[in-house]
Amino acid sequence: MELHQFTIEDARTAIGKGEISPVELTEAAFRRIEAVEDKVHSFVTLSREDAVLQARQADESVKRNAGRLLSGIPLAIKDNICTKDVRTTCSSKILEKFVPPYESTVTGKLMEQEYVLIGKANLDEFAMGSSTENSAFGPTKNPWDVTRVPGGSSGGSAAAVAADMCIAALGSDTGGSIRQPAAFCGVVGLKPTYGRVSRYGLVAFASSLDQIGPITKNVKDSALLLNIISGHDRRDSTSANMPVPDFAAVCGKDIKGMRIGIPREYFIEGMDGEVEASVRQAIKKIEALGAVPVEISLPHTGYAIAAYYILATSEASSNLARYDGVKYGLRVEGKDLIDMYMNTRKEGFGAEVKRRIILGTYALSSGYYDAYYLKAQQVRTLIKQDFEKAFEAVDVIVTPTTPTPAFKIGEKSDDPLQMYLADIFTISVNLAGVPGISVPCGFTSRNLPVGLQIIGKHFDEEAILKVAYAYEQSSDWHKRKPIL
């Protein structure tokens, strides 16, 4: 195995034994980036000088037997997570030159463990998209087929992990933005329970839905990163003051007798046949490991996309009002203050961001608030109650992550409704605030990855990690690598 193909566990073991140094591992990652980044375009910013410096510092710690959990391990960070003194753009022209004066909580925790920041990963502008085609800096491509999308909005993070340009990455998930690209790129993506991980330093899209999580090469690595980034943070009022278990410790535990819910609403007409076949085969494998299948219903699933695109756009309309050309970011002058606001937003925001701001502003406007926003909140409550009722009967819920494999670049760009449907199986999880993980479960005849989604109760990431790890160890889908 080449160094750039290492997992976090592989890297920790090799560095701990003195077989490789953090500097060697970091340089291997940059050699890989030089070889394939032109084909994939995963990164907005690369941090080579700082990365080598961080690797040298980690090297010194290891030599003093003071190494930490991530000493010298190169990770990519989605470019909507603030990194002090490193450009953070949200893949938007309006923040093209923005350099944060502070560190996000999650990257601060990674720094305490001596990680190496290899670069900032591309995304759909302000995380608004399902394909990473909406970036102001150009689309990211799927390493399995560079004519196809990597998913979104964390497409840069997922593609970088799949192409072995980093050992692991962080993404953010508002309606599926970790799990959907993980499925499209054949890697593992975990969205924690809302409140499990601090959002301090995550540039807001929809504050009641956004959550940061890991994208990794296997389930154990996701558990290890979740251990590090979880926990209460007084700087985030939505951060839950809950104990953080050792998530990695559940990997390898028996799943015999666990009740696996299979919702009938997630196997729908129009779903790709090969995706369904792979997911059903994965469910059979989980049954063979001793889990008990239980057919369940999540009856309000069909209303999730409509509710989500009212709530998320309404919150976006509010959150993005701060980009006015006054305090930071792009400024385009005008004849007066209002003209300057309009010119700045016209030049700074892309088409999808403008579309969502307009939708959200309309939903919140006088006379429409009750008909749209309030009604969507009521539907959200019904969806949350669906999950609560289901979890009275089952321990986890198993579904496809996406209805299709990765689609062609440009295929859905002119049809926003078709693009939004790419998240049909992931959005409900965000509306309910529960955790979900996507793991590779097969490939189509065109050699495109398929993802299996495992959903858990609030703050029960242990259950989904236990099932995900057991399934992963019974298959070898996660070991396949794209040829670039």
Which residues are identified as catalytic?
Answer: 78, 153, 177
Nearest-angstrom CA–CA distance, 400 and 280: 9
| Extended strands (E) in 161-242 | 168-173, 188-191, 211-216
Nearest-angstrom CA–CA distance, 433 and 176: 12
Q: What is the CA radius of gyration of the chain?
A: 21
Could you tell me the sign of the dihedral formed by the alpha carbons of 266, 269, 271, 275, in that order? positive
Token pair 């995963």 is at which residue? 42
Nearby residues of 318 by Cβ (< 8 Å), 6 or more positions away: 360, 364
Q: Is the peptide bond before 157 cis (omega within 30 degrees of 0)?
A: no
Angle at 40 between CA 38 and CA 46, to 5 degrees: 65
- Give Cα separations from 5 to 21, 34, 164, 413 (angstroms): 15, 15, 6, 33
Nearest-angstrom CA–CA distance, 54 and 117: 8
Nearest-angstrom CA–CA distance, 190 and 47: 25
